[in-house]
Structure 1
Amino acid sequence: MNKQNTAELRINTLPVPTWRHLKMNGCDLTVSYEESPQPLTLASLQHEGLLVSQLDTNTTSQDGSLSSFVQQKSNSSFRVVVEEGRNANSPLKLNYFLDATNPTVIDDLVVDMEPFSCATILQGYRTPIEGKATFHGGNLKAHVGSGASLTVIQLRFLNEGTTDLGYLDITVADGGKLEVVQIAIGSAQSYIGTHVELQGDGAECTVSCMNIVDRQGVTDLNVHIEHRGKRTLSTLVARGALLDEASKLFRGTLDFHQGCSQSKGSEDESSLLLSPKVKNRSIPLILCGEADVEGSHAVSSGKPDQDSLFYLMCRGIEERKARRMLVEAQLEPILGRVPDKKIQSEIRRQLARRLERDEQ
């Protein structure tokens, strides 16, 4: 048996705290994990159009953050550089499979997008349907240079017994564009944070989150988008469904700083509650230090629309199939942002398996 370790972490902290009795300001976690061998080799990641190298992550920081923990304990650390004006035609794929042989993945990835470059990074984390306890801790830090474009796609198909921690920290320069797509399906204990800083004038970002949580799974999300440059644009969309006794906490913050005039941001989060035992909480925040900006946010949750269900059943579709169609329609805007058809098919299979089990 591999050596067992523990760590105490403070993650998903709101930029401005709310009432303490709500217990939504952040998470204090004590996590356990086994030492595990390196899951990916540098040779397996060579990619035309990208410079991939081993990352030196020596740090002595003890601040309790997930970033510091990953830098100290990582067993998968890489740096990716996309040179100026270079367009990587196909995604760089980093796929990790956690099981009894490889129960721990702690991955640290740094991405440097030089001006007017373009690339897609795809990270996948998977576990068997049934298996021993596993642990994932991930940190992705990126800079999108002037006029550059970066797409980050993260897939999580993680089941019971998995503790899943993730953090993205991305800055975007003048005219840069960022798209983040995060899809999580399963019953893991997941805590995922995303921080985007639109530093440059005309910088843009889109963050899309899709979460399907079943059994007694927990999903805790924190998205913080900071507008600093002029004429910046952000869009945050979250869609999800909760089954069985699952729970979810969503924190979404649009943060307009002084000087970010003519910037716009929108936030829209919606969850389908497919069991009376699920628990769903949301905190949409808009922080404003600049007058000449536009910000909007919307949050909704509830059962599938009964009128739509009735409409489909009146056209000969049985109730179970009609309910599944409504769930899939709710999630389609996020699913459609995944460019790989094979991955789309895998997501649909994972989703169908959960919904079919819920119908039995």
Structure 2
Amino acid sequence: MMENNTIRVNALPTLTWHRLHVNACKTEPYAPAAPCVIRTETETGAAVVSPLEARSDCSAIETGVGKAIDGLFSWGMTITAGAGASDIVRMEIESENGKDCAAFVHVQAEKDSHLTLVQIWKADAARTALRTVVRAEAGAQVRLIQILTDSSVECINDTGCVTGEKASFEVIRLYLAKGNVISGVRTDLMGDGSSFSCKSGYLVNPDKKLDMNVIANHIGKHTQSDIRVEGTLYNGAEKAFRGTIDLKRGCAGSEGKEEENVLLLGDDVINKTIPLILCTEEDVKGSHGASIGELEQSMLFYFEARGISKEEAEKIVTKARLEKLCQDTADETAAAYMHQVIEEVI
């Protein structure tokens, strides 16, 4: 929806008080000058990567950022993991000579397949956008690892997934982008016994913005979701996190939980944490929690007693928070790269 030459993205499924200014994020629309430059390689060759030009495919699955950016995507690719196949696909996303760019990736994980998709963002443009949509059929296991080291002024990271019976979708995201980031994930847990987990780590640089939206729709019975977010905001940084667990009628036996831990460092930091649990089913469980604040004085005293300054202590804690993600990747190459970029940034 267009409002005064801006579009509303990352919208909450259910509105809260307008005066809080957390119902959605606003950004300026743009016309990409070129597709993103994407280099891919597969580890075993079991997954098939091919170009996909049907624009309708980019909006066939609902995503976290939303339909307002559908018009950005006119070029993309499909990754297909056949029934029972197992593979790791690595992908580097760049821009062409600094041009505004966009692309979408359609992932088809067929029955009982195992697919890990590693996306490393290295674009350097004014605007970069990537939409990844996943269809995980019965018994499929899909892991999406996203590492944003982007230098673009603004990047949009949009993801959507639909799960079949006993399928699983796992998202691991590391945000170390130099500019502003708009990021959304939506998963529709359609199949009974399916699951969704999303673990995010971030560092928002001074005077930059990160806007995140994670939606878990529990539709099938005995579905599971687990949303965890952890990161640090530096001087003048601004971050919003919307986490929605929607336990819909008919999803009996389902459970959703979410948690965020935020470290505030410096002055004029703005943090908005909006955990939301919606429920129209009785036989379900839902929980959420958040921890927001500066380093505790007792922790600072511990470091200072060992000759470690406050500034160095802040770096140690910030790095430790991000490196937790490396242990969850289950991919040595991706974990090594994550360690490398964390060391370079902090």
What TM-score, normalized by structure 1, do the two folds share? 0.86
Tell me the residue number matched to 1:323: 314
Shift of 1:316: 4.0
Change (3 A) 1:41 1:298: closer
Matched, 1:188 2:187: no
Q: Which amino acid is the alignment partner of residue 17 of structure 1?
A: L
Residue deviations 1:31-78 (CA, integer Å, cap 9, x gap): 345513662378x679600122211223499xx82452233x43xx10
**Partners of 2:186 and 2:25 in 1: CA distance:** 16
Matched, 1:351 2:314: no
How many residue pairs match? The answer is: 335
**Partners of 2:79 and 2:331 in 1: CA distance:** 21
Please point out which of 15, 18, 31 is paired with 1:17.
15
Matched, 1:146 2:138: yes
Q: Which amino acid is the alignment partner of residue 145 of structure 1?
A: E
Tell me the residue number matched to 1:4: none
Unaligned runs of 5+ in 2: 60-65
Identity %: 26
**Partners of 1:87 and 1:46 in 2: CA distance:** 9
**Partners of 1:299 and 1:107 in 2: CA distance:** 34
**Partners of 1:86 and 1:158 in 2: CA distance:** 31
What is the SS of the residue equivalent to 1:330? helix
Shift of 1:340: 3.8
Q: Which amino acid is the alignment partner of residue 227 of structure 2?
A: L
Tell me the residue number matched to 2:120: 124
Residue deviations 1:12-31 (CA, integer Å, cap 9, x gap): 01000011111111123213
**Partners of 2:56 and 2:309 in 1: CA distance:** 58
Matched, 1:85 2:76: no
Please point out which of 94, 97, 101 is paired with 1:97.
94
Confirm or deny: 8 A CA contact 1:93 1:121 kept in the other structure.
yes
| RMSD, matched Cα | 2.4
Q: 4+ runs of 1 displaced by more than 4 Å?
A: 44-47
Confirm or deny: 8 A CA contact 1:33 1:134 kept in the other structure.
no
Shift of 1:199: 0.7
**Partners of 2:36 and 2:128 in 1: CA distance:** 13
Please point out which of 50, 67, 70 is paired with 1:68.
70
Tell me the residue number matched to 2:236: 245
What is the SS of the residue equivalent to 2:229? strand
**Partners of 2:31 and 2:234 in 1: CA distance:** 27
Question: Which structure carries more relative contact order (alpha carbon 8 Å, separation 6+)?
Answer: 2
What is the SS of the residue equivalent to 2:86? coil
What is the SS of the residue equivalent to 2:322? helix
Shift of 1:312: 3.0
What TM-score, normalized by structure 2, do the two folds share? 0.89
Shift of 1:145: 0.9
